[in-house]
Amino acid sequence: MTRPPSGGTMLSLVPAPVESSKDFFGAELQRKQRTHFGRYEIVMTAARGYGVISSFFTYTGPFFGDTHEEIDFEFLGRDTTKVWLNRFVDGQKLPGQWTDLGFDAADGAHTYTLDWLPDRLVWSVDGRELLRVTSAETAIPQIPQRIYLNIWGGGAAQEGWAGEAPDQIRAHAIYHCLSYRPVGADAPMCSDKSEPVHD
């Protein structure tokens, strides 16, 4: 984890040392305090590279004494003109969606927003809605979760999705701002600081 010249925090994926049992070392940040319903914003520049995944997501699971619950923005470095939007509820992986962004997420920073409410999930970018699911259509996560930012390299199990990262891959994702506002609260957000970034 480093601080890039442009500001923000850079998370890197690098080959693991030869003495390690792992193929790669990927950086991750986790917020210890749980969050729940509300608005989440991340301003980030996604990582590029075959087999590279950079993401912003909420999560809880068996390690924390819960069922697997998760809501994702995942950027697959093999094609950063799209984003993978996904969620888990009560341990079940629900259908994800590979969604066109209309720009290359690795070329510069954009503001990605998740509105998580008891009856719906809405994923947006730069104020433009990408996907909406409601409780009338599917289950919506209800358990408080932790915020994660990370970058990692796909292995053989990810070949059909993100691809298997080459042995010497090096990649970086930059996270410029992160904000969360609970339902009914008045809290500053990333989008208050500047206009959404457009290419």
Write out the catalytic residue numbers.
74
Q: CA-CA distance, 76 to 80, in Å (whole number)?
A: 6
Instruction: Label each residue of 41-101 as H, E or C.
Output: EEEEECCCCCCEEEEEEEEECHHHCCCCEEEEEEEECCCCCEEEEEEEECCEECCCEEEEC
Beta carbons within 8 Å of 157's beta carbon, 6+ residues apart: none
Phi-psi region of 29 (alpha: psi -120 to 50; beta: other; left: phi over 0): beta
Closest by CA to 150, choosing from 56, 70, 19, 63, is 56
Q: How far apart are the first and last CA of the chain?
A: 26
